[in-house]
Structure 1
Amino acid sequence: MKPFDHSSAVLAKEFPLFVSKEGLPWQQRKSSLTREAILESAIDVLFDGGYAALSTNEVARRARLSRGAMHHHFASRTELVLSLTEYVFYKRMRYFLDDYLSQVRESDEGDWLAIAEELHWQSVKGREYTAYLHLAVAARSDSELAAVFDPAQRHFQEIWHREMRKAFSNWGERADKLRIASEFAEAVHIGTLLKLPATESHERSAALRAMLLKTLRDLYGSG
């Protein structure tokens, strides 16, 4: 498989607010970096305490900013959530393009599905994915959040599957099966991750993932 090398162009087109700060005037660059630090702190709040813990005061404390500085960048929790939602999707897409696809496409033909499954499993255990899950769950009962989160998620999914079709051209005309494989892997990984604290069974987790990998190979091998 050939390396995947157009991630910068995709990110610049789809997430222009979060791409490289080089070339910006110093004050604008400083402001952009501060906003990014705030959003990173917001992810930490989500990771540690969930959506209910997300407040501008708590995020400002984590980012070591005064309330005035926080208000300058995000005047309300709604503004913060709006930017945070887009930022979380940007972080997931950057991982998908820069790390996930590159490593999968550089792997040997016989190993790439196993590597893809392992990389995705590691990604769902990360802080960015945990933040995404907190937002997704909260959006089910918070109409204001849903109005922001749901369209962003649909847009992200379309980019995700579009880039997967480009990267995994070896699936040929079976784009529908590639999408099913991706969504099935995500569903199994999320379910496995959420059940781990209750079962404390890493053997069961490994068995579920082995069954997932077999299913993915069956999907790939079917016509």
Structure 2
Amino acid sequence: MTEQTTTPRRRTQAERTAATQARVLDAAIEALVEVGYAGTTTQEVNRRAGVSRGALLHHFPTRESLVVAAVDHLVERRLAEVLSRPRTGEEGLEVLVEAFSGPLFDAALELWVAARTDVNLRTAMIPLEKKVSDALAVGGAELFGDRYTPEELELSIELARGLAVSRILRSPEADREYIDRLLPIWKDLLNHD
């Protein structure tokens, strides 16, 4: 009996490019979360991703394009994760609160704050924010069905975002108590009965 060996398939250029971009985007998110926008330089992302400066600049010619693409990458991943969970049809507003947590929210918050005074970053972020808002509206409609009007869903998204911003000044325990206290009031405000 002869043993047949197979040579591993060589990755295509498109696969290598996608892998490099993913490493760079993951490194950018990691840097935004750990060292903030000010510390997320192209050199820092280069170091974390382990790619050449030329490779990074080929895919992302500016810092703004890099960090916006990184958050966009994470938004896509996070939305797919939330929407792929088994659903009961009884999902509550807790899903929105959870959506505004973790590395995605931390990275986005860094960019929002920096965009206040950085015109180039703000300009680059406007299409991303539109995409995020649209994704939240579509995801919310898919999760909640017709339980909430589009306006109620939009208001709920803004409340969840505001709660997440104020979370940075509370301990995890205090935040859980705060959310547990406010969530019933929020739900009562949207009660249609």
Q: Deviation digits for residues 12-61 of structure 1, max 9, x if unmatched?
A: xxxxxxxxxxxxx7111111111111000000110111111111111111
Aligned to 2:141: 165
Distance 2:109 2:124 in 1: 15
1:205 maps to a residue whose letter is D
Matched, 1:53 2:27: no
Aligned to 2:5: none
Q: Deviation digits for residues 56-100 of structure 1, max 9, x if unmatched?
A: 1111110112323333333332442342243243234333323xx
**Which of 155, 158, 169 is residue 195 of structure 1 equivalent to?**
169
1:130-145 correspondence to structure 2 within 5 Å:
130-145=106-121
Please state whether the residue corresponding to 1:50 is helix, strand or coil.
Answer: helix
Please state whether the residue corresponding to 2:169 is helix, strand or coil.
Answer: helix
Q: Deviation digits for residues 90-111 of structure 1, max 9, x if unmatched?
A: 234333323xxx34x326x4xx
**CA RMSD after TM alignment:** 2.5
Matched, 1:212 2:182: yes
How many residue pairs match? The answer is: 183
1:30 maps to a residue whose letter is R
Aligned to 1:32: 18
Matched, 1:94 2:70: no
Aligned to 1:72: 58
Q: Which runs of 4+ in 1 moved over 3 A?
A: 119-125
Please state whether the residue corresponding to 2:168 is helix, strand or coil.
Answer: helix
1:141 maps to a residue whose letter is T
| TM-score (norm. length: structure 1) | 0.71
Q: Is the Cα–Cα contact under 8 Å of residues 43 and 131 in structure 1 kept in the other structure? A: yes
Larger Rg over CA atoms: 2
Distance 1:27 1:188 in 2: 44
Aligned to 2:159: 184
Distance 2:73 2:16 in 1: 17
Distance 1:84 1:121 in 2: 22
Between the aligned residues of both structures, percent identity stands at 27
Q: Is the Cα–Cα contact under 8 Å of residues 47 and 131 in structure 1 kept in the other structure? A: yes
Q: Deviation digits for residues 126-178 of structure 1, max 9, x if unmatched?
A: 11221111111111111100001122202320231133223312416x33223
Q: Structure 1 unaligned runs (5+)?
A: 1-24
Please state whether the residue corresponding to 2:61 is helix, strand or coil.
Answer: coil
Q: Structure 2 unaligned runs (5+)?
A: 1-10
